[in-house]
Structure 1
Amino acid sequence: MKIREARIEDADKIAKVHVDSWQTTYKGIISESYLSNLSVEKRKKSWLWTFENLIVDEKIFVAEDMAGNIVGFSNGGRSRNNEFEHDGELFAIYLLKNYQRIGLGKKLFNSVVQSLKDNGYSKMMLWVLKDNPSVEFYKLQGGEVIGKKEITIGGDSLVELAIGWDRI
């Protein structure tokens, strides 16, 4: 297993992991009709746009299995939120279900943290659905809930938590 910086040619594989992990992680949290309509092709377009329009200090990392297949990803950069004093943000981190709970998530998380540190950031935050099982993972990494908001995904009203680190 290895972590490396992603390249634009990884966009289709990242999109596949993104859709697959949403469908397993959010089953029972987000409506089945929304999850079943997620499209790898649409996600790929979104990731291609992201690669072509990276924000300040944004990095994307992928986790590969021993055969070189992408099984997870993370990305982060300058915070997109003005409501908190945290200068860095973890935008996304997802792993295929079969690769969870073996240390890859922590490696993907730490890749973003190190990138932020290397670029002079001292605080980090992220947004996560309150019912996402990963909330506990973030707390184990030292994060604390610093806010919350209501959002709508596919017609479902959900609570999203802001988790922050005052020092990374």
Structure 2
Amino acid sequence: MKIRLASLNDIEGIAKVHLESWKTTYKNIISDSYLSNITLEGRIRNWTWVFNNSNNGEVIYVIEDENNQIVGFLSGGKSRESNLEYEAELYAIYLLKDAQCKGYGRLLFNRFIEELKLTKYESIMLWVLKENPAINFYKKLGGEYITEKEIQIGEDRLIEIALGWKDI
């Protein structure tokens, strides 16, 4: 496995992972009608916008398999939650189903933490759907409950939980 900073050339690979991981991770959490309407073209548009509008200090990492195929990604940077006392935020981390439970998520997370330390961040937080099984992954990494809120995705009203690390 190889972890590296993402480039514009990675947009399609990131979009594919994002699309596929949403369909597998959120099956039975988010409505099938919503998930079936997510398209690769839409994800490519979203990630093109992200790359063209990222703020200073935001990073996107990809993890590739032995065939140089992107099997996961992570994005993060300065916290978007001004009302919470955490400096940095993990915006997204997704792995293809076949790449899960192999330690790749931990490798991506640890690489991001290394970057945050280099840029003098001391704390980090993230949002995760309460029903997402990945919540256990974050808790094993030391994430602690901060707060929760109700959000809407399509027609679904869901609970999202904030987890944080006060001292990275």
Same fold (TM over 0.5): yes
Verify: 1:56 aligned to 2:53, yes or no: no
1:34-82 CA distance string (max 9 Å, x none): 0111011111111111111112310000010000000000011010111
In the TM superposition, structure 1's runs of 4+ consecutive aligned residues that sit over 3 Å from their partners are none
Alignment-mate amino acid for residue 102 of structure 2: I
The match for 1:167 is 167
Residue 41 of structure 1 aligns to a residue whose secondary structure is helix
Deviation at 1:110, TM superposition (A): 1.2
Deviation at 1:30, TM superposition (A): 0.1
RMSD: 0.7
The match for 2:18 is 18
Q: TM-score, normalised by structure 1?
A: 0.98
- Paired positions, count: 168
Gaps of 5+ in 2: none
Verify: 1:136 aligned to 2:136, yes or no: yes
Deviation at 1:155, TM superposition (A): 0.6
Deviation at 1:149, TM superposition (A): 0.2
Deviation at 1:112, TM superposition (A): 1.5
Q: TM-score, normalised by structure 2?
A: 0.98
Alignment-mate amino acid for residue 94 of structure 2: Y
The match for 1:42 is 42
The match for 2:66 is 66
Alignment-mate amino acid for residue 7 of structure 2: R
Gaps of 5+ in 1: none
The match for 2:91 is 91
Percent sequence identity over aligned pairs: 53
Q: How far apart, CA to CA, are the structure 1 residues paired with 2:112 and 2:8?
A: 18
Residue 29 of structure 1 aligns to a residue whose secondary structure is coil
